Amino acid sequence: MAESTTRDTILAAIRRGKPDVQPLPATIGFAPNMASDQFADTFLTMVKNNGGQAIRVTSLDEVNAFLGNEYDLTLPVLSRVSGLDISNFTPAEDLRLLDDLHLVVLEGKVGVAENAAIWVDEPVMGIRALPFITLNLALVVSEKNIVGNMHQAYPRIDTSVGFGAFIAGPSKTADIEQSLVIGAHGSKTLTVFLLADAGH
């Protein structure tokens, strides 16, 4: 009969000390942190807290009218939102010209109420640099696509389409002296349009 080694003694102690197997909970994840009827208002508040403009609209015509009043649409503008035809810029010819972009308008796929993060994916962007190189960025998000927290957002993201990013507010960076710089690494402004559901 082989003698018991220190190793065997340690492993036996570990086996005796293992906790009992517990059944998994029926639902894995975090409980919603707010009621669904608070999503839209909380989302709009968080957009403003992040340094952006938050506009509630009922149609793309309202988006068009707001952008016409707020921005000079004679400067290079690119809209990739279906039904919002304000583009006067074609980036395919020379990507170096992207740094001339004054305004880009994109569709946000999912908006998160707790932090105003908006998911923008590659099919929406067309060119990955668009939301980061433009001077001003506008995102249109349908109210039906607002969720409470990040845990609710991830199941809605289609990871099969390639690159994507959560965008929350204009570009901001700060150093140890707490000097905040807006627009250093991305757009200088962010305007978010929350588009009401057609049924509302």
According to DSSP, the β-strands at 146-147 and 110-112 are parallel
Q: Which residues of 11-35 are buried (b: 16+ CB within 10 A; e: fewer)?
A: eeeeeeeeeeeeeeeeeeeeebeee
- pTM value surpassing 0.75: yes
**Per-residue pLDDT reduced to its tens digit, 109-144:** 999 999 999 999 999 998 898 999 999 999 999 999
Q: Which of 147, 130, 143, 52 is nearest to 90 (CA)?
A: 130
Among the residue ranges 28-32, 158-162, 189-193, the one predicted with the least confidence is 28-32
Q: Could you write out the three-class secondary structure of 72-103?
A: CCCCCEEECCCCCCCCCCCCCCCHHHHHHCCE
Query: What φ, ψ does residue 190 adopt, rounded to 5°?
Result: -135, 125
Among the residue ranges 29-33, 62-66, 75-79, 110-114, the one predicted with the least confidence is 29-33
